[in-house]
Amino acid sequence: MPLPGLTAWQTLNWLAVSAGERLLIAGAAGAVGGVALQLARARGVAVDALVSRDAQVAFARGHGAEVVATDPDAFRARSYDAVFDTFGAFLTDAVADGGRYASIATQAGPVPDLSARGVRTTVNQVHEDGAGLRELAGLVDDGSLRLRVHAAFGVDRIRAAHRRFLRGGLSGKIAVTF
pLDDT score of 107: 85
148, pLDDT greater than 90 = no
99, pLDDT greater than 90 = yes
Give CATH 3.40.50.720 domain extents, the chain: 2-123
161, pLDDT greater than 90 = yes
What is the mean pLDDT of the segment spanning 92-98? 97
| CB contact set of 172 (below 8 Å; sequence gap of 6+) | 147, 148, 149, 150
pLDDT score of 8: 97
What is the mean pLDDT of the segment spanning 132-148? 91
Residues paired with residue 131 on neighbouring β-strands, in sequence order: none
- Per the prediction, the chain carries an average pLDDT of 94
pLDDT score of 144: 86
Using a pLDDT cut of 70, give the percent of the chain over it: 100
Cα of 59 vs its chain's centroid, Å: 12
pLDDT score of 65: 96
173, pLDDT greater than 90 = no
Its CATH class, for the domain covering 2-123, is alpha beta
Contact 104, 85 (CB under 8 A): yes
pLDDT band at 108 (very low <50, low <70, confident <90, very high): confident
Going by their DSSP bridges, the two strands 95-103 and 68-69 should be labelled as unpaired
| CB contact set of 156 (below 8 Å; sequence gap of 6+) | none
**Which residue would you say has higher pLDDT here, 170 or 122?**
122
pLDDT band at 2 (very low <50, low <70, confident <90, very high): confident
What is the mean pLDDT of the segment spanning 30-42? 95
pLDDT score of 97: 98
pLDDT score of 151: 93
Residue in 14, 18, 36 with CA at minimum distance from that of residue 26: 36
